[in-house]
Amino acid sequence: MAMLNPRWPLPALATWLSAWVLVLGAQRLGVEPWVAVATGLGWSLSWGLQQSQRWRRLMVSAGFPLSWLMLHGGPVGAWPAWAWLVPLAVLALLYPRSTWGDAPLFPTPKNALQGLGQALPLPAGARVLDAGCGLGDGLLALHREYPQAHLQGLEWSAPLRLACAWRCGFAQVQRADIWAADWSQLDVVYLFQRPESMPKARDKALRELRPGAWLVSLEFEVPGWTPHTKLETVPGKPVWLYQAPFGTTASTNRCTAAKARACGQQCQASTACAPTRQPSHS
């Protein structure tokens, strides 16, 4: 059983709806209510477990049982109908419809970027962007690595932008669409997105990042690119570093003896060349 990969949150909505169709259909056929509900639960769980990320597995699996509790769950079922609009309104405020294709609110782990400043040294005043800064955890991590850099954060959610600006007084935090913003004057763009949005990030970086600039992605690789460096201080949260002009195949960016001599690094044919160029400023 393999679910297609439509735009989120369609997989969750489709699973919840189909679970209710199964339950109601089973009841019309005379199936015992507990059997019908168990069928819906099993259906939701089977689709939920196929999701690629833990938060999606939870949302897909939990939607049907939560809605069933809303209708039949004792004290929960006694709540007025409008009460369920409150969390939906909060969710819509924090996570506007235009951002559904981007990553949800998952903060950068505290030590995930540890060592980035050594692997990718930047001069004072380098322009570093956290694209989709949320509550500011990524900016805080970047500030620890680059205390002299000019840090910027972009966040489309107005409440999150306000919270991020309050936490990160050292950074310039704006409410803006990360995909519409201009990346051409930046030295580093940091992303903690989702697998489905990485091709979009790749295309934008190809169009706008100037030679010598860097794209840094937490956890998710850029499809079709060979990273210059990979860090992993938090298990399961690798940091991928890519420098413009971006390599598109393993063969073009793998370290050879000639490249090792040219960049002054020691490496093996099976490893990627370490980053050496510093960002240029116009």
| 90 vs 269, higher pLDDT | 90
Picking from 29, 60, 79, the residue at the C-terminal end of a domain is: 79
Q: For position 55, what pLDDT does the model report?
A: 65
For residues 244 and 194, membership in a common domain is answered with yes
What confidence tier does 259 reach under pLDDT thresholds 50, 70, 90? very low
232 belongs to a structural domain: yes
269 belongs to a structural domain: no
For residues 71 and 122, membership in a common domain is answered with no
282 belongs to a structural domain: no
Picking from 52, 79, 106, the residue at the C-terminal end of a domain is: 79
Lowest-confidence region among 46-50, 218-222, 228-232 = 46-50
Residues 6+ apart with CB under 8 A from 47: 3, 11, 15, 60, 61
Q: For position 208, what pLDDT does the model report?
A: 96
Q: For position 15, what pLDDT does the model report?
A: 85
Q: For position 194, what pLDDT does the model report?
A: 83
For residues 52 and 128, membership in a common domain is answered with no
The mean pLDDT value of the chain amounts to 79
229 belongs to a structural domain: yes
192 belongs to a structural domain: yes
Question: What's the domain range around 233?
Answer: 116-263
Q: State the average pLDDT over residues 100-116.
A: 78
Residue 137 has pLDDT above 90, yes or no: yes
271 belongs to a structural domain: no
Q: State the average pLDDT over residues 26-47.
A: 84
- CA 209 → CA 57, 167, 200, distances in Å? 34, 28, 14
For residues 138 and 207, membership in a common domain is answered with yes
Lowest-confidence region among 22-36, 98-112, 127-141, 259-273 = 259-273
Q: For position 84, what pLDDT does the model report?
A: 54
What confidence tier does 36 reach under pLDDT thresholds 50, 70, 90? confident
For residues 257 and 127, membership in a common domain is answered with yes
How many independent structural domains does the chain possess? 2
For residues 150 and 41, membership in a common domain is answered with no
Q: 228: domain CATH number?
A: 3.40.50.150
Lowest-confidence region among 16-20, 79-83, 162-166, 178-182 = 79-83
Q: For position 271, what pLDDT does the model report?
A: 41
The pTM of the full predicted model, rounded to 2 decimals, is 0.61
| 239 vs 7, higher pLDDT | 239
Q: What is the pLDDT of residues 186-204, one digit of tens each?
A: 999 999 988 888 999 999 9
One-letter amino acid identity for 27? Q
For the chain, the residue count is 282
For residues 179 and 120, membership in a common domain is answered with yes
For residues 141 and 19, membership in a common domain is answered with no
What confidence tier does 107 reach under pLDDT thresholds 50, 70, 90? confident
185 belongs to a structural domain: yes
For residues 124 and 237, membership in a common domain is answered with yes
Q: For position 40, what pLDDT does the model report?
A: 84
For residues 52 and 143, membership in a common domain is answered with no
Return d(Cα 189, Cα 192) in angstroms, integer.
10
| 241 vs 30, higher pLDDT | 241
**Residues linked to residue 216 through DSSP beta bridges, in sequence order:** 190, 241
5 belongs to a structural domain: no
Q: For position 276, what pLDDT does the model report?
A: 43
Q: State the average pLDDT over residues 135-164.
A: 94
For residues 39 and 152, membership in a common domain is answered with no
**Residues linked to residue 254 through DSSP beta bridges, in sequence order:** 272
Q: For position 277, what pLDDT does the model report?
A: 44
Residue 132 has pLDDT above 80, yes or no: yes
For residues 60 and 153, membership in a common domain is answered with no
- Return the percentage of the chain with pLDDT > 70, whole number: 70
